[in-house]
Amino acid sequence: MKRHLAVLACSLAVAVPAYAADEADAMALLEDSKCFKCHSVDKKKDGPAYKEVAAKYKGKPEAEAKLTKHVTQPSKVKIDGVEEDHGAVKIRSEARIKNLVQWILSR
């Protein structure tokens, strides 16, 4: 039994970094795209905090696809009952966008 637990622990230790988002790159992309004008990591501004977004999508299989669409395609959002334009990130790198979405969902 102990041997099985040791193998499982080692497997998890190796697997975790494969899913870890690059926080510095995500933060740089958010900064470059002016996302912090309306969002923050843990406090509501005009838009929801990224922790709130992560909680909204937690456990939902469509989370990554929906959030990817939201951050890459300009759309309309309601802020205090007023419809406003929501911009998109200023990059088209699929890897960087995937990293950003995974970072947001990991909050």
Residue 78, Cβ neighbours under 10 Å: how many? 9
Is residue 106 a contact partner of residue 41, using CB atoms and an 8 Å limit? no
Check whether 14 has a pLDDT greater than 60: no
Question: pLDDT per residue over 16-39, tens digit each?
Answer: 444 579 999 999 999 999 999 999
**Which CATH number fits the domain 22-105, given the four candidates 1.10.760.10, 1.20.120.140, 1.10.10.10, 1.10.1530.10?**
1.10.760.10
pLDDT at res. 18: 45
pLDDT given for residue 63 in this prediction: 98
